[in-house]
A and B are shown apart, each in its own frame.
Chain A
Amino acid sequence: MVSKLDDYFRFNEMALSLRAQRQQVLASNIANADTPNYKARDVNFADTLKNAMDNKSTGLAPVTLARTAAAHVAGAAAGGDSGVGGSPLLYRNPAQGSVDGNTVDLDVERNEFVDNGLRYEAAVQSVNGQIKNMISAIQQG
């Protein structure tokens, strides 16, 4: 019974958790907009959520790119520790680089930050809807 409830809420719970972590990554990009040699980072949210759902837990080994030749470098951002939800942090491709080696484009980052925040609130609404459904199921039954 409890595990069914867990399964029922798990998707939105995972989405909220990953959105919150991504929000911190985006906040770091905005905070470091003037730091020399800082490279903007982000995650592929769809892949991250899919990985997290497939692996049934968040404390999993980071997923790495397939390297078919010895000269290939790993695609994960070096600073990422465990990345977000087990998926690695990736570097953003700069549209226009700057002389000090910083790749933060403030417009892009603010756009992503607001977008991610809005989607987080949408997920909160979704969880609230699920809880209301469950409560009505309990009371009507």
Chain B
Amino acid sequence: MSLSNIFNVAGSAMSAQSARLNATASNIANADSATGPDGTPYKAKQVIFQSIPIGGVKDSGVSVAGVVEDQAPPKLVYDPKHPMADANGYVAMPNVNPVEEMVNMISASRSYQTNVETMNTAKSMLLKTLTIGQ
């Protein structure tokens, strides 16, 4: 039943987009975390999407292949009074770019909404199918 497969396809995309939104939320929340459990500043995280087969159709759904850390160097902020400041008075702050994160957030939430619409359309098509012969 390919119409029921649409629920799986849209559902996989929704969970992938919510993982992306989760990573974005984590990045924005930690935009000013000068240190983490390992003593180094927080690194921005990004999810990687890949297409997966659903219902025998190749490249149909979406899954999160992994989460990677942004390898850009930390932002150096001059603040000699900060406890984490180095000998020259610079503090290494996370490499999170708030503008990028906001764009990611909007993009993820729009994609999520689109997939909800997809699901609703598939649902109304299935309900319509059930009325055949009545």
List chain A positions with a Cβ less than 8 A from chain B: 16, 20-21, 23-25, 27-28, 30-36, 38, 41, 78-81, 106, 110, 113-114, 117, 120-121, 124, 127-128, 131
Q: Count A-B contacts at CB 8 Å.
A: 105
Q: Are B2 and A24 in contact (CB under 8 A)?
A: yes
Dominant SS among interface residues on chain B? helix
- In the complex, 17 of the A-B residue pairs with CB atoms within 8 angstroms, ordered by the A residue number, are A16-B129, A20-B3, A23-B125, A24-B3, A24-B60, A30-B10, A30-B114, A31-B62, A32-B59, A34-B111, A79-B58, A81-B57, A110-B117, A113-B118, A117-B124, A127-B133, A128-B133
Q: Which of B1-53 contact A (CB under 8 A)?
A: 1-3, 5-6, 9-10, 12-13, 17, 20, 48-51
- How far, in whole Å, are A128 and B132 apart by their CA atoms in the complex? 6
Q: Which one, A27, A34, A117, contacts B9 given CB within 8 A?
A: A27
* Number of B residues, CB within 8 Å of A: 41
Q: Which residue of B lies closest to A83 (CB)?
A: B57
Given contacts A16-B129, A27-B122, A34-B17, 16 further A-B contacts (CB under 8 A): A20-B1, A23-B6, A23-B125, A24-B2, A24-B5, A24-B6, A25-B57, A28-B51, A31-B13, A31-B115, A34-B20, A35-B51, A36-B48, A81-B57, A106-B114, A121-B124
